[in-house]
Amino acid sequence: MNYTVYVDGQEGTTGLRIHEYLAGRPDIELLKIAPDLRKDAAERARLLNAADVAFLCLPDAAAREAAALVTNPKTCLIDASTAHRTAPGWAYGFPELARGQRDALRAAKRISNPGCHATAFVALLRPLVDAGLVPATLPLSASSITGYSGGGKKMIEQYLAGGNPELDAPRPYALSLAHKHLPEMAAHTGLATAPLFVPVVGPFYKGLAVSVPLHLAQLPGVTAEAIHAAYTAHYAGERFINVMPLRDAATLEHGFLDVQAANDTNRIDVFVFANDSQVLLVARLDNLGKGASGAAVQTMNLHLGLDEGLGL
């Protein structure tokens, strides 16, 4: 069986990466838009409605516009933008989220692909909220270190242009404390409030690690061992989620966490570091892999009833 697939935004960072993943697939017929018609609504509508699966790799406003162009009830949209991640009627494209999520994604024709930072944060918190180890009302903080490809074509151009010494060092951003991933971080973990979230972009292309500190004094009866066991149970059998050993000896011995070590994979590595009274949760991924395009392809495979890892 062959499937027709269209990527709206085929020239952008996530769109190009999806094309790379799908290029060698004999079961996928990729529909391509003529370069001079890339932003032509009528031509985009024609291709969107001709596709079994259409990826939206567009800014939020263009993604909303694209969704409104779809009239074919058979077209499944997978939106990489932030536009629909907490929208009613849209399923969240994180198969490992919880039991039942895969059924939801098989049935859905509107799927929102999680944000890169949010993927890591949700992967860390959802199992702990579900297991009752973190109360939904606990205020949390999180930080993220990310490569600059997360900022799309414009940011990539700035970094590649060179000549700006400010870009040589890591740069904290979203300092208004209103990052666009906050709503999905709360909605898909079950937390009552989003974390205080500080992302930092650094002078490397891709790779991302979100860290969440926990004080055990705020979590009576909870241990690092119980947290680690909750991850092992929640992600049992998940090929794309790698729960690292508690207090991962190799990382501790090395002395640094390599935020690029999941690059070119569709994996999330989950770490639990701890002393007697504090725990540090870390999730590492490729922001263009499980943080964006890889996740979108995984969800497409799942939706179509194919092996989830096909082409990844």
Ligand X SMILES: NC(=O)C1=CN([C@@H]2O[C@H](COP(=O)(O)OP(=O)(O)OC[C@H]3O[C@@H](n4cnc5c(N)ncnc54)[C@H](OP(=O)(O)O)[C@@H]3O)[C@@H](O)[C@H]2O)C=CC1
Ligand Y SMILES: CC(=O)N[C@@H](CCC(=O)OP(=O)(O)O)C(=O)O
The residue type of 110 is R
Instruction: Classify each residue of 181-195 as buried b or exposed e, where b means 16 or more C-beta atoms within 10 Å of its C-beta.
Output: bbebbbebbebeebb
- Told to judge if 116 belongs to the known catalytic residues of this protein, a careful annotator would answer yes
User: What tokens were used for 80?
Assistant: 């990489």
Cα-flanking dihedrals φ and ψ of residue 120, to 5°?
-70, -45
Which of ligand X, ligand Y, none is residue 108 near (CB under 5 to 8 Å by kind)? none
Q: E-strand spans in the chain?
A: 3-8, 28-31, 53-56, 76-79, 91-92, 110-112, 141-147, 171-172, 196-202, 208-215, 241-243, 268-274, 278-285
CA distance 105 to 299: 7
Closest to ligand X by CB, 210 vs 292, is: 292
Query: Quick one: angle between helices 224-234 and 116-130, nearest 10?
Result: 110
CB of 248 to ligand X, least distance (A): 26
The one catalytic residue in 116, 214, 224, 304 is 116
199 binds, among ligand X, ligand Y, none (CB under 5 to 8 A by kind): ligand Y
Using CB under 6 A, which of the segments 35-43, 142-150, 210-218, 277-285 binds ligand Y? 142-150
Give the sign of the dihedral formed by CA 28, CA 267, CA 289, CA 73: positive
**What are φ and ψ of residue 304, in 5° steps?**
-85, 0
User: According to CB under 6 A, which residues from 90 to 129 bind ligand Y?
Assistant: 115-116
Question: Site for ligand Y (CB under 6 A): how many residues?
Answer: 14
Among the candidate windows 35-43, 94-102, 150-158, 246-254, which touches ligand Y by CB under 6 A?
150-158
Q: Which of 10, 13, 101, 146 binds ligand Y (CB under 6 A)?
A: 146
Smallest gap from residue 184 Cβ to ligand Y (A): 8
Residue 308 near residue 104 (C-beta atoms within 8 A)? no
Tell me which residues touch ligand X (CB under 6 A): 8-9, 11-15, 38-39, 57-60, 62, 80-82, 115-116, 149-150, 152-153, 287-288, 291-292
Least distance between ligand X and beta carbon 294 (Å):
10
Binding residues for ligand Y, rule: CB under 6 A, are 82, 115-116, 146, 148, 150-151, 155, 180-181, 199, 201, 291-292
User: What positions carry a catalytic annotation?
Assistant: 116
